[in-house]
Structure 1
Amino acid sequence: MAGDASTDLRAIDVPALAPPGGHYSHATVGAGLVFVSGQLPVTPDGTRLTDAPFETQARQTLANLAAALAAAGSGIDRLLQVRVYVDDIANWPAFNAIYAEWAGTARPARAVVPTGALHFGLKVEVEAIALASA
């Protein structure tokens, strides 16, 4: 049925983020859920933080995730699941501390996956699923 909110899909491109580097949207909203594409430590002007410390990369990545959620009408408090990819599992403790501060009282399901080298030599990527606005 056309116009049925349970089947409508809406692509979200976030003006406050660098444009997607491929054939995808920052996020997609459908069936009451927000699916946020993998966010990298890239500033809104498109600068890749390849040489920045891990902590700086993690904070930028989480800021990008928050911006995508907000543009989709959601937020950190509506997160259901977060997937984190790190280039080295030795970065997990630092990420966990930064993430706990960023997430506050939200405690979505989460996975942290060590991957080895990530795109552009970056150290972290985060994707998420959240509830859309009520």
Structure 2
Amino acid sequence: MKKNQLIAGSALAAMVIGAGGAWAGKPEVKAKGNVQFYDSGRFDLPFSDGVRVGNVFYTAGEIGDAHGSDKVVSGGIVPESRQALENIKTTLKANGYALTDVVKCTVFLADIKEWPAFNEVYKEYFKKPYPARSAFGGTELAWNARMEIECIAAK
């Protein structure tokens, strides 16, 4: 799938270096009234990596794209899910939030049969009480990803 064929809402935001979760480049935050738009500047795509409205932060969808790359990590649903959740974690941290602040997630799976495998990875990142969550099976995601996740965090 070419870059210009990306599905709107598929974030490829968190350019992360190493396990430390540091952002490369210069993130940009723009305000419009009480709304802040966060853009990591990773790709020139028509959406923000995240948006804060008051004390609520909305992430764009994240796929398991490899650090500094426009390709998903290899190995299928498990490594992709871990990478996507690391990307979410990095976006949240860059905006003063943590995974423990997440109250809702929406998950898109290229194959709903991979839901149990995704759930095992999800439980590595979230503990009880779990955020509310929805999951959908589809047929194709950006860059042939197996999954995509977006989250809402609140303080």
What residue number does 1:92 align with? 115
Is the contact between residue 141 and residue 147 of structure 2 (CA under 8 Å) also seen in structure 1? yes
For residues 49 and 70 of structure 1, do their structure 2 counterparts lie closer, same or farther at Cα, with a shift above 3 Å needed?
same
SS at match of 2:48: coil
SS at match of 1:43: coil
What residue number does 1:3 align with? none
- Quote the Cα distance in structure 1 between the aligned partners of 2:151 and 2:140: 21
TM-score by length of 1: 0.84
What residue number does 2:63 align with? 40
What residue number does 2:145 align with? 122
Is the contact between residue 79 and residue 106 of structure 1 (CA under 8 Å) also seen in structure 2? no
| Cα deviation, residue 47, structure 1 | 3.8
Matches within 5 A, 1:1-134: 7-14=33-40, 19-20=42-43, 22-49=45-72, 51-132=74-155
Which has the bigger relative contact order, CA under 8 A and spacing at least 6? Answer: 1
**For residue 113 of structure 1, what is the amino acid of its counterpart?**
F
Any gaps of 5 or more consecutive residues in structure 2? 1-32
What residue number does 2:17 align with? none
SS at match of 2:60: strand
- Quote the Cα distance in structure 1 between the aligned partners of 2:59 and 2:147: 15
- Quote the Cα distance in structure 2 between the aligned partners of 1:74 and 1:60: 18
SS at match of 1:58: helix
How many positions carry a matched residue from both structures? Answer: 123
| Cα deviation, residue 118, structure 1 | 0.8
For residues 123 and 102 of structure 1, do their structure 2 counterparts lie closer, same or farther at Cα, with a shift above 3 Å needed?
same
Provide, for residues 67-117 of structure 1, a one-character-per-residue CA deviation record: whole Å limited to 9, x for no partner: 111111111111110000000011100000110111134511001110111
TM-score by length of 2: 0.73
